[in-house]
């Protein structure tokens, strides 16, 4: 389609509260939105993803209120046959999922990788979601993870996924009343000697708010988490994090066993952070 026939040649952001399609078998041509970088939609048409995957410059995807049990697996026929998506979206850096009340998981073990370069994942008010572990998302490039109001969440990610979060800078978990741990260790993830170590080598900001069932950061008492934190905020949780004289964070509380979270920062990085922020802000308490 040439520029004269395209009424939206410079459109970069599109928000839709209504159906994308004019008719059931006549989708709105994606060629009209060749420069689109961000889209927000809340319609539940079974071919929504096929429209999205044609937006080759899309960097931000915001899905709201869609009654899917899994992201981008849809009923492809009137008989209810399930047809899985087989196309990646390499340019998408931000994925937001909001008020998806039927969402149970982000993709099962057999799902194809859809988001290979995701940097920012936001999941809000998805009440049936159990965890974020998914084969549809690559966690290697994730820098910001925010989860809020997911009442069915039992844990955030598995141990194997947590070990991939080397670039994660901000982790924020709010108002998840059923979550008992941030990282869960499954039986098939045992390391040698039953000792586990996770290096969040880029994590600077950790915020855990209103998690009344939280028993610990990791399900194993033999798990050490290394983080170069700049700020730690812990509110309305049943655990406490205390700073030891050597700069480690010691976790304690009424139910969980003691667990050490080690703060690893090179001397030069410490000096730089102190110059920029006036020193580290480490706040750990319960309300």
d(CA 212, CA 222): 23
3 state DSSP class of 270: helix
3 state DSSP class of 118: coil
- Which segment of 15-19, 33-37, 78-82, 237-241 scores lowest on mean pLDDT? 78-82
pLDDT digits (tens, 9 = 90+) for 241-277: 665 555 455 666 544 444 556 655 544 444 444 444 4
- 90-97: average pLDDT: 94
Identify the bridge partners of residue 216 per DSSP, sorted by sequence position.
181
Query: What b/e string do you get for 140-164 counting C-beta neighbours within 10 Å, with b at 16 or more?
Result: ebbbbbbbbbbebbebbbbbebbbe
Q: What is the pLDDT of residue 252?
A: 63
- Which segment of 74-78, 118-122, 144-148 scores lowest on mean pLDDT? 74-78
- Whole-number average pLDDT of the chain: 76
Could you tell me which of 7, 69, 63, 60 has the C-alpha nearest to residue 37?
60
- 272-285: average pLDDT: 45
CA dihedral 7, 13, 16, 20 (to 10 degrees): 50
pLDDT at 285 exceeding the cut of 80: no
- 97-105: average pLDDT: 91
**Higher-scoring residue by pLDDT: 197, 130:** 130
Q: What is the pLDDT of residue 254?
A: 46
CA distances to 54, 68, 231 from 28, in Å:
11, 21, 46
pLDDT at 80 exceeding the cut of 80: no
Q: Which of 20-24, 35-39, 63-67, 122-126 has the highest mean pLDDT?
A: 122-126
pLDDT at 162 exceeding the cut of 90: yes
3 state DSSP class of 214: coil
Domains of the chain: 3-210 (3.80.10)
**Residues 209/185, Cβ–Cβ less than 8 Å:** no
- 130-146: average pLDDT: 93
pLDDT digits (tens, 9 = 90+) for 194-243: 678 888 889 889 999 999 999 888 866 677 777 877 888 888 988 876 65
- Token representation of residue 5: 């026939």
For the chain, the distance separating the N- and C-terminal CA atoms, rounded to the nearest angstrom, is 59
Q: What kind and span of H or E run contains 269?
A: helix 267-277
The residues, any chain, with a CB within 8 Å of residue 191's CB and separated by 6 or more, are 197
């Amino acid at each position: 389609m040439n520029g004269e026939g395209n009424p939206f040649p410079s459109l970069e952001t599109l928000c839709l509260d209504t159906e994308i399609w004019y008719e059931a078998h006549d989708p709105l041509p994606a060629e009209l939105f060749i420069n689109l970088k961000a889209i927000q939609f809340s319609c539940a048409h079974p071919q929504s993803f096929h429209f999205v995957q044609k937006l080759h410059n899309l960097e931000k995807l915001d899905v709201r209120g869609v009654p899917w049990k899994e992201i981008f697996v849809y009923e492809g026929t009137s008989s209810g046959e399930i047809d899985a998506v087989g196309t990646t979206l390499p340019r998408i850096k931000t994925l937001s999922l909001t008020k998806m009340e039927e969402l149970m998981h982000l993709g099962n073990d057999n799902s194809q990788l859809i988001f290979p370069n995701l940097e920012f994942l936001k999941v809000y008010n998805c009440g049936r979601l159990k965890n974020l572990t998914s084969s549809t998302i690559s966690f290697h490039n994730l820098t910001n993870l925010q989860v809020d109001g997911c009442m069915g969440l039992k844990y955030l990610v598995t141990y194997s996924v947590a070990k991939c979060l080397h670039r994660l800078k901000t982790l924020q978990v709010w108002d998840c009343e059923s979550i008992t741990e941030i990282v869960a260790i499954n039986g098939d993830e045992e390391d040698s000697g039953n000792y586990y170590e996770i290096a969040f080598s880029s994590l600077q900001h950790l915020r855990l708010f209103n998690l009344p069932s939280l028993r610990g950061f990791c399900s194993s008492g033999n798990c050490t988490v290394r983080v170069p934190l700049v700020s730690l905020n812990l509110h309305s949780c049943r655990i406490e994090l205390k700073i030891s004289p050597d700069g480690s964070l010691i976790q304690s509380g009424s139910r969980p066993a003691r667990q050490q979270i080690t703060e690893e920062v090179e001397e030069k990085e410490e000096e730089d952070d102190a110059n920029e922020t006036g020193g580290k802000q480490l706040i750990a308490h319960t309300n």
